[in-house]
Amino acid sequence: MSEEITIDTQELGEKIVKVLKTIYDPEIPVDIYELGLIYDVFINEENEVKILMTLTSPNCPVAETLPVEVEEKVKSIDMLKDVEVEITFDPPWTQELMSEEAKLELGLL
């Protein structure tokens, strides 16, 4: 008889955020989470994750590599079955989306 382990989605969400905070925009010394590039993280019952994110601009030099890095790093969390990263520019990113911490770090406060 197999025992099913239920994982708290909030706990899983926190693990995902912890991983996202290790990924930096190469041009700005702030992680993508604090920059406000992550719009949403969805986790379903099967532990499949969908991350809705944006880039600082559509011509961002890391447009090709950053989503792949996000996907690969989040996939490293053991309990996840699948990770999908979707890029959107709606709404477009602005400095207003940055956390207070990020604004402080960049001297915008």
pLDDT in tens, 59-86: 888 888 999 999 999 999 998 999 999 9
CATH class name, domain 9-90: alpha beta
CA distance 109 to 14: 27
What's the Rg (C-alpha) of the chain? 15
Query: Residue 41: which of 88, 84, 5 has the closest Cα?
Result: 84
Band of residue 49 on the pLDDT scale cut at 50, 70, 90: very high
CA distance 82 to 27: 29
Cα 92 to Cα 13, 54, 61: the distances in Å are 24, 8, 16
Q: How far is CA 58 from the centre of its chain?
A: 17
Domain ranges of the chain: 9-90
What is the pLDDT of the chain when averaged over all its residues? 90
Whether 3 shows a pLDDT value over 60: the answer reads no
Q: What is the pLDDT of residue 7?
A: 59
pLDDT in tens, 25-46: 888 889 999 999 999 999 998 9
- Partnered with residue 53 across adjacent β-strands are 38, 87
